Amino acid sequence: MGPLGGDVRSLAADPSHPERVYLGTTDGYVFGSHDAGNIWERLGLAGSINAVVTAIVVDPRDSGIVFAASWTREKNGEGGGVSISGDGGRTWHESGLVGHAVRALAQAPSEPNRLVAGALDGIFVSHDLGRSWERISPAGDSELRNFDSLAIDPQNPAIIYAGTFHLAWKTTDEGKHWQPIHGGMLDDSDVLSLTMDARNPQRIFAGACSGIYRSDHAGLSWKKLEGMPDSSRRTPVIRQDLSDPAVLYAGTTKGLWKSKDDGATWRRVSSDEWSVNAILIEPILANQEAGASASGERVLLGTEMQGVLASDDGGEHFEPANAGFRHRHVVSMAMDRDRTGHMTAVLGNAPETLVETENGGRSWSALGKGLNSNGVRKIYSSPNGWWAALDSGGLARFDPGQSVWVRVGTISENKMLAGVNSANPPARGKLAFEASVNDIAFGDREWFAATEEGLFMTRDSGVTWFAVPAGAAGLPIRSVRVSADAQRLRIVSAAGMLFSDDAGVSWEWHDLPPGSGDALRLEWAVNNTLLAAARNGLYVSRDGGANWRKLQQGLPAVAADDLLIRPGLWLVSLQTGGLFASRDAGANWLRLSEADGIAQDLEFPILMSENETGLVYVSSSAGELYESDQLGDSAAGNGTVLAGK
């Protein structure tokens, strides 16, 4: 799913074939390119879906062997490990250090079988290319922990430099003894990057949260390099131009900086809005697509939000290099009620938060201005256009004539106590509608908003809202569904489900069977058939909610991310991954597979369909949008990954 780009945490090149490059993401995926970043393809999942790929290493003797280090945040602490691929990154398996949050990984230049991993709980070494590992830092040491960067001496693999969240350390005997090496560094400097000078192994550059340092004495003393403002001093990566070693590039949280004199002076060569995590300098053909024959250099940047950026003129100019790299975090999507292929999306890791497509996801563009710093939690397609629920509370409407978003909505000062079906509800004054909106349902005339402050209704297309008494005053409402005539209302709260058949005048409580883990959301199927997603599975009622039965035939007992109900097809995506379809109203379920075009290692948080065309759209955790025109005819249709078109 577009637009192109995403978050890039690591970059690496194949030493034997430098045009083959890899990137690691913040959710476990590895992408590869065979043309120095002109075109990317998603390869495989290294670790878990919630893993940050901190480093990638390609064996210089065998291009098929690739290592990826990762760390994850777990409920009971940190996790991660080292994964290995034997087929160039397409499939991965654990190489060791399972459960260790590995923040850095390096291969010894003079002894390729030797790998060193820096984790939050210590330094580990492998002498057999990752088959086995041993700790070489003292366990439980108060200082030798929280490792963030590594460098190995090119001639002597026993000499290892390691940066921590606090300062830097060194061993000359592969961990038997360690010595602190932070003379000249500001105290409490997180050493994020260590780079050894290709001309002189005694010279080392360190990128830290307090700036850039250089040591000319193998780390025994450091000098802070000046020339960068304080706002740019957090430096995750430093790289040396091997064709001109006096040239250094520094990736910071405020853009890319370049030095032509070994770091004595610096100049910013990018926008200060770029946050640079990784740099790759490639001695390859500068423009392979144009058929250039002269050798050149390409500088690739891995960034937050911007994805990959490439320069073929020494960093003077950069262009996006994201073809094939579609890895946005989709927070919410909505589909135009009147125009096929017209959709909007809320992105969590993009310069433009709101984007739209006119052609079913094949190309995207920014959708208006006006929200400024207001974040969007969900977007809706209403009878009169796009509406957005804001993180700060309240709603905004998109004005297509001005191409801007406008805050909309007031609320009556005296909350409505009864008679919500009255043609003229009472109002003595109006305040801004600032409730935190979880869901909106649209009837022919009435709209209903489920909020953290209760249920609200409007009859003038969102201009004025009135509170609808449902349960306890101010009861948080998770979701709402309404019939076209607004007589039948179905809401879900943390306390249970509430049903009304008289437009909200009176309500009746309904509960799922004991042990269900409470209802999270509710969908109408046909007539009196209801589908409820709970924490431990999916439940169906075929008598309007009086009785409920858990759906189990082929369906795991876990919470659902999203539900899609249409004639002849029920579709559910699960939080543990996987997409399941039923053609017999939930009696039996089939998991869609690779043969259907659906990758098995993904989650699918958003499901949508078009009424006119019958097309089904599914967004994945990998930032792809899948389209199928056959799910209406068979339980497992052929999916098309739009990112591949």
Per residue in 556-614, pLDDT (tens digit) is 888 888 999 988 899 999 888 789 999 998 999 999 887 777 776 678 888 988 877 78
Tell me, yes or no, whether 403 lies in a domain: no
pLDDT at residue 413, rounded to an integer: 60
Q: Is 243 exposed, middle or buried (0-12, 13-18, 19+ CB in 10 A)?
A: exposed
Percent with pLDDT over 70 in the chain: 91
Q: What is the pLDDT of residues 170-196, one digit of tens each?
A: 999 999 999 999 999 988 789 999 999
Tell me, yes or no, whether 194 lies in a domain: yes
pLDDT at residue 642, rounded to an integer: 38
Average pLDDT for 430-442: 91
Alpha carbons within 13 angstroms on the beta-carbon side of residue 203 total 10
Q: What's the predicted TM-score (pTM) here? A: 0.85
598 vs 580: CA distance, rounded Å: 11
Q: What is the pLDDT of residues 72-89, one digit of tens each?
A: 977 677 899 999 999 999
Neighbours of 356 (CB within 10 A): 18
How many independent structural domains does the chain possess? 2
pLDDT at residue 218, rounded to an integer: 96
Of 293, 310, 326, the domain-final residue: 326
| pLDDT > 50? residue 293 | no
Q: What is the pLDDT of residues 321-349, one digit of tens each?
A: 999 998 888 889 999 988 888 999 998 88
| pLDDT > 70? residue 636 | no
Q: Is 614 exposed, middle or buried (0-12, 13-18, 19+ CB in 10 A)?
A: middle
| pLDDT > 60? residue 464 | yes
| 252 or 288, greater pLDDT | 252
Q: What is the pLDDT of residues 352-392, one digit of tens each?
A: 889 999 988 888 999 988 887 678 999 999 999 999 999 99
Helices (H), 430-527: none
The secondary structure element, H or E, covering residue 281 is strand 276-282
Tell me, yes or no, whether 497 lies in a domain: no
Of 326, 342, 368, the domain-final residue: 326
Rank 60-69, 328-337, 494-503 by mean pLDDT and report only the highest: 60-69
Q: What is the pLDDT of residues 193-227, one digit of tens each?
A: 999 999 999 999 999 988 899 999 999 999 999 88
Average pLDDT for 448-464: 94
120 vs 186: CA distance, rounded Å: 21
Average pLDDT for 504-527: 88
Give the 3-state secondary structure percentages of the chain, helix then strand then coil, rounded to 5.
Answer: 0, 45, 55
Tell me, yes or no, whether 456 lies in a domain: no
| pLDDT > 60? residue 90 | yes
Rank 153-162, 528-537, 566-575 by mean pLDDT and report only the highest: 153-162
Contact 334, 342 (CB under 8 A): no
Domain of residue 164: give its range: 5-326
| pLDDT > 80? residue 425 | no
Average pLDDT for 19-44: 95
| pLDDT > 60? residue 291 | no
Contact 46, 10 (CB under 8 A): no
Q: What is the pLDDT of residues 245-262, one digit of tens each?
A: 999 999 999 999 999 999
Contact 70, 85 (CB under 8 A): no
pLDDT at residue 284, rounded to an integer: 67
Of 294, 326, 358, the domain-final residue: 326
| pLDDT > 50? residue 58 | yes
Q: What CATH number is given to the structural domain containing 575?
A: 2.130.10.10
Categorize the per-residue pLDDT at 1 as very low, low, confident or very high, splitting at 50, 70 and 90.
low
What integer best gives the mean pLDDT of the chain? Answer: 88
Tell me, yes or no, whether 319 lies in a domain: yes
Tell me, yes or no, whether 315 lies in a domain: yes
Categorize the per-residue pLDDT at 283 as very low, low, confident or very high, splitting at 50, 70 and 90.
confident
Categorize the per-residue pLDDT at 414 as very low, low, confident or very high, splitting at 50, 70 and 90.
low
Tokens of 92: 């991965």
Tell me, yes or no, whether 230 lies in a domain: yes
| pLDDT > 80? residue 411 | yes
Contact 414, 424 (CB under 8 A): no
pLDDT at residue 596, rounded to an integer: 75
Rg (CA), the chain: 28
Tell me, yes or no, whether 574 lies in a domain: yes
